[in-house]
Amino acid sequence: MTTTVSIIGGAGYVGGELLRLLLFHPNVTVRQITSASQTGRFVHTVHPNLRGQTMLKFSHPDSVEPCDVLFIAQPHGVTGAAIEKYAAIAERIIDTAADFRLRDAAAYERWYGAPHPNPQWLEKFVYGLPERHRAELQSARYVSGVGCNATVTNLGIAPLADAGLLESVVTEVKVGSSEAGGRPTDSSHHPERSGSVRSFKPTGHRHQAEIRQELGNNFDLHFSVTAIEMVRGALATSHCFLKDPLPEKELWKLYRAAYRDEPFIRLVKSRVGIHRYPDPKLLAGTNFCDIGFAVDAGTNRVVVISAIDNLMKGAAGSAVQAMNLMCGFDERAGLGFPGLHPI
């Protein structure tokens, strides 16, 4: 008997990616996918890549039936106010929005500008990044999503933070347009977006809160995000200033020890060719995070470069990986796509 799953908020980009992954997952059956605006329409009218792969139609969110695992891919703020209703539908919930990422209600209010509507639920959720919370996820009933900019940064610099080597970090994340979601806005209008390199959050980005929560406060953090001409992808360039210089050989040992058993982390550093460092273009549609680094000789600076697909490892891919852990499946199930080259 397979595990039944449903998706609330299935018309957006993350909802579409969840459906793509779950339709071909060996251990689950998709029962329903909902959209208030698309109710009654075949899902392939919104997600044309799934044409011929399913005859599912969008259901209305109010008609969701009980299932084993409920994925919620609605805008920030929706799940937080309705969590009691959703908890009555499924034993396990994975919410890809920001509503339950932060454990601290005061931090939530600071970064999201309003009190949390159900702060008593914050401690019930596990942050959905398997590389940091694998053991907790295996027994979790409620799992939060992850911020894509936070994830590409956290995975890139975590070995240095965990080892207590960091004095300060200056990170810039370059992101694709899909991070803004599927609803058109002035900034996503093609004449305004095409060809743009737009610093839309040079300071004060909300995902800093997730970085601090996951990696601690023992180093200075400066964090900026820039939108570039790309649809999918996030590339973090983290200038890491260490307390003491560290030889490249020792850095390799540190990163290999941290990630040798991780199925979706790849260390990338080649001396030849054009793919010497991580490139998010190569990760489109995959759940991988590629990480590389360069040592600034004679200084205490290490430049860590990390890349993900923001819709996958930064959202739907990590959510399915978390489900695999929650349900006792192979952690890699449904996530084996290696990407395309060229693309």
Query: Catalytic amino acids?
Result: 148
> How far is C-alpha 186 from the chain's CA centre?
25
DSSP state of 314: I
Separation of alpha carbons 288 and 276, rounded Å: 16
183: CB partners within 8 A, 6+ apart = 12
Enumerate the β-bridge partners of residue 198. Answer: 227
What does the block give as tokens for 19? 């459906």
Q: Is there a contact between 33 and 47 (Cβ–Cβ < 8 Å)?
A: no
- Going through 243-321 in order, the beta strands assigned E by DSSP cover 265-267, 289-295, 301-308
Q: What are the φ and ψ backbone dihedral angles of 16, each rounded to 5 degrees?
A: -65, -40
Q: How many Cβ atoms are within 10 Å of 78's Cβ, its own excluded?
A: 18
What does the block give as tokens for 93? 């919930």
Separation of alpha carbons 194 and 136, rounded Å: 42
What does the block give as tokens for 38? 């698309």
